[in-house]
Amino acid sequence: MKKFLLGTVGLLALGLAAPASAADLAARPYTKAPPIVTAPFYDWSGFYIGLNGGGGWSHKCWDLTNVTGIPVSPSVAEGCHNATGGLVGGQIGYRWMSGPVVFGLEAQGDWADLKGSNPSSLAALTPLLTNQTKIDAIGLFTGQVGYAWNNVLWYLKGGGAVTHDKYTGFLTGAGIVLDQASETRWGGTVGTGVEFGFAPNWSVGVEYDHLFMGNRSITFPTTVFVGSRVDSIKQDVDMATVRVNYRFGGPVVARY
């Protein structure tokens, strides 16, 4: 009986001690689950500056409309040629984003050496006269709209264009200059490009632009060799360039 009483007392003591021991244990600390981070996205917004280089080609057609003050009607075609060559320059612009849609404004200037010539098709002058064209500068002032797939941007652009042209008539085969003229011509442009961001603030891309430069009447003054003439010269220009840009903006940003 005595052993039974001692056993009962021991069990009761253990039962009373167990809740007290559990109460003495520290509560498990609460930790907030970490946010789920998806893949980072490339930020195209901000000012940028860059360099470009490539090639261009311009189709020129000459029509004689006046000789020494006497109108030529209808005009007489002197022929067409392609002025081709290289170009190099730079661009500066600003872009901003609305979701994956990218908007921008840009100014671009290039030194160019697009040159071509053809013998005049006038029966009275052939083969005495060769007409030569040279474009030595090109400028573009455009707006952009594009779509970004993270660090890949495809865009369209459009706006104004300006070229500086030099025209020369020289004696075929001899290289003697007969007459010269120059002009600054304004027109329009459309283009498209793809740009790849290879570092937080650096990108490289390719771009194609077409310039609509229209018709202009160019007056060649009287020289010691020939009298004055006026030619209506039509031109358009195509450009293909590789571009490298540095953007003054923020780094790649993580989405939560």
For the segment 42-84, what is each residue's pLDDT rounded down to a tens digit? 999 999 999 999 999 999 999 999 999 999 999 999 999 999 9
CB 157 within 8 A of CB 188: no
Residue 204 pLDDT > 90, yes or no?
yes
CB 231 within 8 A of CB 218: yes
Residue 35 has a pLDDT of 55
Residue 225 has a pLDDT of 81
Provide the token pair at 68.
Answer: 């020494």
Q: Do β-strands 229-248 and 46-67 pair in parallel, antiparallel, or remain unpaired?
A: antiparallel
pLDDT digit string, tens, across residues 77-132? 999 999 999 999 999 999 999 999 999 999 999 999 999 999 998 867 667 899 99
Give the domains, in start order, of the chain with CATH numbers.
52-248 (2.40.160)
Of the two residues 249 and 184, the one the predictor is more confident about is: 184
Residue 15 pLDDT > 60, yes or no?
no
Q: Give the mean model confidence (pLDDT) for residues 133-151.
A: 98
Provide the token pair at 44.
Answer: 């195209």
pTM of the model: 0.81
Residue 161 pLDDT > 90, yes or no?
yes
Confidence label for 1 from pLDDT (cuts 50, 70 and 90): very low
Confidence label for 27 from pLDDT (cuts 50, 70 and 90): low
Of the two residues 24 and 156, the one the predictor is more confident about is: 156
- Tell me the Ramachandran region of residue 96: left when phi exceeds 0, alpha when psi lies from -120 to 50, beta otherwise: beta
Q: Give the mean model confidence (pLDDT) for residues 184-211.
A: 97
Residue 216 pLDDT > 70, yes or no?
yes
How far is 55 from 89, CA to CA, in rounded Å? 11
Residue 215 pLDDT > 70, yes or no?
yes
Report the mean per-residue pLDDT for the chain.
Answer: 86
